[in-house]
Structure 1
Amino acid sequence: MSMSLQSARGRRGRRGGPIGDINVTPLVDVMLVLLIVFMVTAPLLTSGVPIDLPQTNAPEMKVEGTKPLTISVTPEGQVYLGEDQITLDTLLTSVAAAAGEAGTQQRLYIRGDAAADYGLIMQVMGDLSRAGYARIGLITQQREP
């Protein structure tokens, strides 16, 4: 019995016991990879509908409060609420359902393609305005100097 205790002590003594330090190098490596992934994918999360926005010299607006709903108009005349294609007939009911409790106080942003029919964009804005939505804005792209 004494032999087994001695050999156990001897083994522990030679190895030096358990190490209490945590190696943080792999943790830092993983965090840096995640940071790079998020930095690359963040600009792609704006909207899934490809729109060529018109350019303007207007200053960028500050966004406050609740997240606005985005309505996109493509050059082919298709209308999207977020990433879901809708028709002009279902525009108001779709916006009302998406606005929820905010109702007509919901902020709405319209992304009209530069090649889209101006009349269609104005029809969307007019329908929303007649339905009582007053917080409607147009999204443009900053003009390069």
Structure 2
Amino acid sequence: IDGSAQKKLGLKRVSGLGMNEKELMANSALSDWVVLDLNRGKQPKLPYDDSSFDVVLCQLSIDYLTSPLEVMQEVGRVLKPGGRVAIIFSNRLFIQKAVGLWTGADDIDHTYTVASYLRFSGGGFTNIKAEDLSTRKGKGKAQQIIGDPLYVVTAVRS
């Protein structure tokens, strides 16, 4: 989300959480940000109050989480009832950093895996849906076959 999208969507607050301080600092859309490695420590803990967000977006990072169920439980904790989560992922990744479960699976398996994280996390998620956002349009047969793979799994906190 950039600064213009924040205004267009009427967002009062956009919080960022990631591992790259320079990227977080450079993102003008963020109201606040935290540098945090969710793979460190025994129990991942999001540094936010209970029921403090309407929406949580996890973008291109689910494939690197070593405790995804615990992280999704935390997402459920920080979401308001009726709040939404969107987990966006691709099959383009740093293979040496991704978790083994992810590297040995295809896109359909990835989608089921992410949906399972939400369902079994204890985060109170319902209405779990998956969508293929891949671009398969363009010039040339390779672009039409391969495209740019992108998927999203969404859910609502009960």
Name the TM-score class by shorter chain. Answer: 0.3 to 0.5
- Structure 1 or 2, whichever has the larger Rg, is 1
Give TM-score scaled by structure 1 length: 0.35
More helix, by proportion:
1
> Which structure is higher in RCO with an 8 Å CA cutoff and minimum separation 6?
1
More strand, by proportion:
2
Give TM-score scaled by structure 2 length: 0.33
